[in-house]
Structure 1
Amino acid sequence: MSTSTESETTQVPEEKKPVQLEAKVESPSACLREVIVTIPHAEVERYLKDAYDEIVPEASVAGFRAGRAPRKLVEKQFRDRVREQVKGTLLMDSLAQVSENENFSAIGEPDFDFESIELPEEGDFKYQFSIEVRPDFETPTWKGLELSKPVEEISDDDVQESLERVLGRYATLEATDEAAELGDKLVVTIKFSDEGKFLSQIEEERITFCKRLSLSDGVIEDFGTLMKDVTEGETRTGKVKVSEGASIEAMRGKEIDAEITVIEVLKSELPKLTESFLEELGDFESEQELRGFVRDSLTRQADYRTQQSLRESVVEKLAGSADFELPESLVQRQTQRELQRKVLELRRSGFDEDNIRRFVNASRQNAKASTEAALREHFILEKIAEEENVDAEAGDYDAEIALIAQQSDMAERKVRARLEKSGQMDAIRNQIVERKVIEMIVEAAKVSEEKVEKSGGDEDDEFAVYHSVLATREEASIPEAKYEDNTPKAAEKETEKD
């Protein structure tokens, strides 16, 4: 006895018939394609017929029961709506078909004006779009490269110096009438102007008194000299050099005025490593455990610098076959994305917010060049990754998020949720894959180690502030960690709340 009646009567939906079309593709540059699509009028009529076939059985027309109106009347009443619907469907279907069939890999959305495209009454349906694509280049030979690997040794002096910087964030600050010295804290208000015209202002910002003060789009190179022996209540004037990567082209490289008023000079006293303070700092049971944590952070920072140096060497040797032009629009769109990716990478590598601010400001001041270099590196490494089947796995994401969480004030699950919401999981994936490819290339290379002699103290020569002197708002898009120390205190507290 057969029991297959239901399966025999079930209708299997027909596979959608592809659009008959012709696509003409031009390559004005390596990363850009201009595409002209031509769809025969017969295909337009087919899509219109299908659309009306779907609407007629349920159409409501005055004077007729639903679905009973003559087809000609339905077509007349719903003409505009159906034609607009068919235009959209034809565009989506044909775009998908062109992207699938043509020999390019899109990295952006098609650029065209939907409203300006018209579905013709007669003749072929034509439209044009541009799209950014991965550049086509020959994969460079990456096996057997000769590389020099810088090796840093973390000494007890390095740990002590870093520990003092960590403790400095918990120092007792006391206002003083004495003259400021390098390393003191200053509370300052800075007004920026150009030929007497007010541009922007920093209001009562606490900074560390260093030799150099960097901003999002400029720098006061002689800040230490300018503010030497300054006291509370004093106002001094100096010059800010606007960066070559500033948002306003006419201001690039120009020197503008900075009026700096010192609200307070603060002397600091480092806290004692008592049992209660160690517990407050991060539930450390001893000073030795705290020093071990600091050493681990320094080791991760050193590993990051080593990997960056190897990456630069690898890409420099492979870049010969990747000499292609990058569209200005692509560079502009990727600048902020690349900056955010770098911030995530620095956080997972153990750098504190002072270091990250310095990096962000330096990158912004030379945004175009640094983004172009990063894009070229990405295209080279991504192509090798595809050919060698290198990709990110679930465990890689978990490890990356755990390291980022350690430098923030959130539990790992909240870090993940925020990254997913902001669309930055793609950036995490890219840095995982690129790191794996670099490791694979290094494994296949002839590597000689070279001991690095650290100059020491350079990072204390500059303090960075997220502020654009030209009053743009780009600095707001770089999220800053609430806690600026290298301890897991914040993440642990957040976990306890959860």
Structure 2
Amino acid sequence: MIKTTVKEKEGCVRILSVEVPREQVSRVLDETLIAMSKYASVPGFRLGKAPKDLVMAHYGERIKDEALKRLISDSYQEVLDTAQLVPVSVPEVYELEFFDEKPLRFNIKLEVKPDIKLKEFFQIKIKRKKYTIKESDVEERLNYLRESNAEFVSVEDRSIQNSDYVIADVECFVDGISKEKTQNIWLAIKEDSQDEIAKALLGSKRDEIKRIIQKLPDNYPKEDLRSKEAEFVITIKEIKKKILPELDDEFAKLVGNFNSLDELRTGLKQSLKVEYMKLELEDVKAQAIDALNNLYDFCVPASFVTREAERIKDQLRHKLLESNVKEELLNEKIAKIEPSIKEDATKNVKVYLILNEIADTHSIGVNEEELAKRVEVLATVAKQDAAGFRDYLIKNGLLDDIKLQIRQDKVLDFILSKAEVIEEEVVVLTDSNAEKSLLIDRHEI
């Protein structure tokens, strides 16, 4: 019988000290020798006909290696079953003792799935925010549409005024040396702007060249230029005035499938209602996730956290590259928020393990109809054929991720059906960026 002791180390790490009795070692060695004798090539004997002692003499090390692999594999699985451990990392075998006429001894270091004892869901309290849509919200959205459809008309006969837009070439000099040059950049001219360069252009004319001395900020992207005094040479190429379209029936036809301005207002109101319903659902699910995170306390496998942290970093890198952040600055920016990335990765893994345990305990799964419906929705968003999109998901190993997301959504719905939910009215912000503020990534850089 295999002897095993299990020692708990930091977090979810376990050290298994294993001893396989000599009788079992000898039996596996004999079985390996017999199996190899059938194919062993020994000089002076036909294939598979050599005496076992000669086969052992010629292939002893190989036989021992094969037997050792089998002994470790078989005993590892037996030890896990006996100790009721579920590994979540690749095992590390060390301090191996494999001597003639002695038991096989070795240690295994691995991370295991934490033991999660589920708690009652009534301990979770959720505040469901009910958004009330006002006419001012609709007007704010209308104004946003007007801004989005504004026309920029070139101005020839006057100087730059407040609220104009300027197209210019900007070159930055430090110590008389050109460090950066940007062509055809758009500058919004505002009297109350924090941008000193834009403010300094007020009253200037087309084709005029302005020189502005300004100290570069401490957080300037190029580290070697931070806090240095720079001269900006601005060549004004065009002056443009923004003209907003009139709010009338023609505008409604322009921005969508609407016959009148009243229809457009009704459509915007319905759109806002759908958006806020989505926000309500996202908010209660986020609260449920936070509640689960606070309700449970158990070790989180470090290997899981490392993989999740890398996934978050990859997402951030992609996002920063899309925002035109230079590649050489990516690692510097990500390093600054490393602690918050690890914190979020730990939380994500912890909640995943809790949701998975709840799903297993309450037999919450995903059927083919649910999966097909979700794939169809995603395909519509991606503007692709559902069958082709599913093939793409399968080919890239993403279909299981979709199933996992559906399962987690169903678990969260199950939790919300059991939790204490209190409704509260919320006044919707009318700032044009209000809806964006609710969705800002905590890792925004």
TM-score (norm 1): 0.59
Distance in 1 between the 2:337 and 2:275 partners? 18
Report deviation, 1:372.
2.0
The residue that corresponds to 2:358 in the other structure is 384
Residues 170 and 234 of structure 2 are in contact (CA less than 8 Å); yes or no, is this contact kept in structure 1?
yes
Matched, 1:375 2:345: no
Matched, 1:405 2:359: no
The residue that corresponds to 1:131 in the other structure is 110
Residues 312 and 341 of structure 2 are in contact (CA less than 8 Å); yes or no, is this contact kept in structure 1?
no
Distance in 1 between the 2:78 and 2:166 partners? 61
Report deviation, 1:400.
3.0
Percent of paired sites with the same residue: 19
Report deviation, 1:70.
1.9
The residue that corresponds to 1:437 in the other structure is 411
Residues 170 and 183 of structure 2 are in contact (CA less than 8 Å); yes or no, is this contact kept in structure 1?
yes
Which of the numbers 44, 52, 55 marks the counterpart of 1:63? 44
Report deviation, 1:399.
3.1
Q: Could you report, residue by residue, the CA deviation over 1:114-156 in whole angstroms, capped at 9, with x for unpaired residues? A: 8x85644342222222322332243211037443211235678
The residue that corresponds to 1:350 in the other structure is none
Which of the numbers 281, 285, 288 marks the counterpart of 1:307? 281
Residues 142 and 318 of structure 1 are in contact (CA less than 8 Å); yes or no, is this contact kept in structure 2?
no
Q: Identify unmatched segments of 5+ residues in structure 1.
A: 1-19, 192-197, 210-222, 243-250, 279-283, 344-352, 355-359, 470-498
After superposing the two structures, state which structure 1 stretch, 159-168 or 180-189, moved more. Answer: 180-189
Which of the numbers 425, 433, 457 marks the counterpart of 2:432? 457
Matched, 1:109 2:109: no
Residues 241 and 256 of structure 1 are in contact (CA less than 8 Å); yes or no, is this contact kept in structure 2?
yes
Indicate how the Cα distance of structure 1 residues 142 and 62 shifts in structure 2: closer, same or farther if over 3 A, else same: same
TM-score (norm 2): 0.64
Report deviation, 1:53.
1.7
AA at the equivalent of 1:110: V
AA at the equivalent of 1:370: D
Residues 167 and 270 of structure 1 are in contact (CA less than 8 Å); yes or no, is this contact kept in structure 2?
yes
AA at the equivalent of 2:115: D
Q: Secondary structure at the match of 2:90?
A: coil
Which of the numbers 53, 68, 71 marks the counterpart of 2:34? 53
Q: Identify unmatched segments of 5+ residues in structure 2.
A: 173-178, 202-208, 324-332
Residues 164 and 242 of structure 2 are in contact (CA less than 8 Å); yes or no, is this contact kept in structure 1?
no
Q: Could you report, residue by residue, the CA deviation over 1:94-118 in whole angstroms, capped at 9, with x for unpaired residues? A: 3333333323333x2233158x856
Aligned residues: 396
The residue that corresponds to 1:493 in the other structure is none
Indicate how the Cα distance of structure 1 residues 410 and 373 shifts in structure 2: closer, same or farther if over 3 A, else same: same
Distance in 2 between the 1:85 and 1:207 partners? 71
Indicate how the Cα distance of structure 1 residues 175 and 66 shifts in structure 2: closer, same or farther if over 3 A, else same: farther
Matched, 1:76 2:57: yes
Matched, 1:324 2:298: yes
The residue that corresponds to 2:206 in the other structure is none
Residues 89 and 112 of structure 2 are in contact (CA less than 8 Å); yes or no, is this contact kept in structure 1?
no
Indicate how the Cα distance of structure 1 residues 261 and 40 shifts in structure 2: closer, same or farther if over 3 A, else same: farther
Q: Could you report, residue by residue, the CA deviation over 1:415-473 in whole angstroms, capped at 9, with x for unpaired residues? A: 445544554444433332222122112222342222222333346989999x999xxxx
The residue that corresponds to 2:69 in the other structure is 88
AA at the equivalent of 1:43: Q
Indicate how the Cα distance of structure 1 residues 169 and 86 shifts in structure 2: closer, same or farther if over 3 A, else same: farther
Distance in 1 between the 2:79 and 2:187 partners? 56
Distance in 2 between the 1:180 and 1:78 partners? 91
Which of the numbers 12, 15, 31 marks the counterpart of 1:34? 15
Report deviation, 1:405.
3.2
Residues 363 and 370 of structure 1 are in contact (CA less than 8 Å); yes or no, is this contact kept in structure 2?
no
- Give the number of the structure whose alpha-carbon radius of gyration is greater: 2
Distance in 2 between the 1:205 and 1:79 partners? 77
Q: Secondary structure at the match of 2:127?
A: strand
Distance in 2 between the 1:189 and 1:119 partners? 73
Q: Could you report, residue by residue, the CA deviation over 1:250-284 in whole angstroms, capped at 9, with x for unpaired residues? A: x9xxx977999999999999999899997xxxxx7
The residue that corresponds to 2:327 in the other structure is none
The residue that corresponds to 1:121 in the other structure is 100
Matched, 1:98 2:84: no
Residues 331 and 368 of structure 1 are in contact (CA less than 8 Å); yes or no, is this contact kept in structure 2?
yes
Q: Secondary structure at the match of 2:92?
A: coil
AA at the equivalent of 1:53: I
